[in-house]
Every structure is written in C-alpha cells, then in structure tokens.
A = this chain, B = another copy of it.
Amino acid sequence: MVSIREVGPRDGLQNEAPVPTDAKVRLLDALSATGVRRIEAVSFVHPRAIPQMADADEVWARARKAGGVRYSALVPNPRGAERALAAGFTELEVVVSASDTHNRRNLNRSTEESLAGLTDLIKMVHEAGATVEVIVATSFGCPYEGDVPPARVAGIVERVLGDGADRIAFGDTTGMATPRRVRELLAAVGQVPLLLHFHDTRGTGLANILTALELGVTEFDASVGGLGGCPYAPGASGNVATEEVVHMLHDMGVDTGIDLEKLLEAAALAEQITGRELPSGVLRAGPRTRLTPQ
C-alpha cells in the first residue's frame, strides 16, 4: 500500500493562472470521490503574495469533506496557522528551503531564521491539537546553488524533529532529483516519517518514485493532471501527474485506494478548469489497459 497525497488543489492551482472559487470546489469534490486518502486542499497565505489562494476560506467552507480523507493546508507563518486552525484543519504544512539562497528568494530570510521561527509555530499548532509537517524544499538541489549536500538536509530534519515536527517531506522544487540523488539523500537521513514530493521537469519523476519505493518509502505527493506547471516558467513541467503515479503503481500490484477512472475524470476537469493541455501522459493516452478498437 502506497499513500498518495493529492496536491493539485493547492500546489497545483497555486502555480496556474487563477481560477474561480467554484472551479476549485468542484475539483476538490471530484478528487475527494476518487478514493485518494489525503488531499492538500488550500494554503493560508497573504492574498497579495499569492492571489490564487485568496479564497482559501471560502473554498474550504464549501468543499465536501469526505470520510476517510485526510485534508491538509499549507501555512507560511503563525498568522496562516491560526487561519488554518480556525478553519478546522488538523494537518498543517510549513516550508523551509534546504538552500539558503532559495529560502531568501522564496521567504525573504535565511534558512536559519526560518528554522528558528518553526519552534514556536510547531508548539502553537500542537497546543491546538493539530500536527505539523515540515516540507524541506530544494532537498534534491537548488536552482541557484546547485547540489545541496544530503548532510545539510539531514541536519534540518534532525532539528525540526527535535522541535516536534510530526512528519517530514522532501520537495524536489525545480525537478533536480534523480535516482542517484534519491538514494544519497535517503541514505543520509535514515528512518524518519517521510513523504517525497517529485517534479517531472527532466523526465525522472517516476524513476525517482520507483527508486524510493525500493528503499521503503511509501508516501508520495502527486498532482492531478500534473497541475502546477508554473506558467511563469514556460515549458517547465511541474508536479508528477497523479494518474501516471497511480497507473505505474497499480500495474506493479501496489494498491493506492484510488479509482484510476475517477481520477482521470478529475484530471479532465482540471484541464477544463485551467483551459490548458495538462502534461499527463496517462490523461492523454489513457491507461495501458485501454485498448484501441480493431
């Protein structure tokens, strides 16, 4: 059994041109009906910073909460955490970059300053009865600095776990992960509660997941239709498409709980909502089991 977290509604749509509230609710509801067990639903960020998520409260209020699905929200700071908790979320995510340059570009402070801020945030969220996942961005490489030493990532993991973080995710922020980098990082980090988030920027998305599976990882992010192509970087492809991950896993006999046909309907909806052709091979060509009429 592999646990897929569907990140299309948040990470996906946050990196597409803005879509109406209604469309977001429809996509969330469609995904909640696929059998997927985890969905990253929204982020509580400042609307000026990320207009795509300005309606997070309304989206979440209107979405149907399916039994058996764990929903999570991304928060950038204590204010966002308060909003997420007030909205009823019990699983929060925060991001820190392993690369200092990327952290400064993304969050306007050093990695060290971000880490220092996490201590109190984790405490506050725990006191409210919720959990915190720390997403370590640029874990497999930084577009500004290049390779990020696995020992540096391992040091961040140790520190945030010491601060009480409930789970760790490694973000392949700009698609620099490869099977080799996956092996090296997992060896450096050892056994921790871990989820991996890969992009398919350079074709290695599923090869990375295959490598991680062989090393015992059982939790992965994926985005319906490959939503999140980052329209500001033309041609760059983003998150691995959930259909492609599920298609490969099911063929391997690995269960995900997801109904691939329903997922493909959600992917078609995602394409309709964004109005662009999404980079998902299984959405385009159909599953390998779908035959051409003779």
A residues near B (Cβ < 8 Å) are: 101, 141, 143-146, 174-176, 178-181, 200-207, 209-211, 235-237, 240-241, 244, 247-248, 251-253, 277, 280-282, 284-285, 287-289, 291-292, 294
Contact = CB atoms under 8 A, between A and B. Distances in A.
Q: Which of A146, A237, A251, A253 has the largest number of chain B CB atoms within 10 A? A: A251
Q: Which of A143, A241, A253, A289 has the largest number of chain B CB atoms within 10 A? A: A143
Q: How many copies does the complex hold?
A: 2
A281 B237 contact: yes
B179 A241 contact: no
A228 to B, nearest CB: 14
Given A204-B206, A210-B210, A178 B252 contact: yes
A181 B285 contact: no
Contact of A203 (B141, B174, B181, B241): B241
A145 B141 CA distance: 43
Contact of A206 (B176, B203, B253, B280): B203
A144 B291 contact: yes
A284 B237 contact: yes
Contacts of A244: 202-204
A180 B144 contact: no
A236 B178 contact: no
A178 B288 contact: yes
B178 A285 contact: no
8 contacts: A179-B248, A200-B203, A203-B241, A203-B244, A203-B282, A207-B210, A235-B277, A235-B285
B253 A291 contact: no
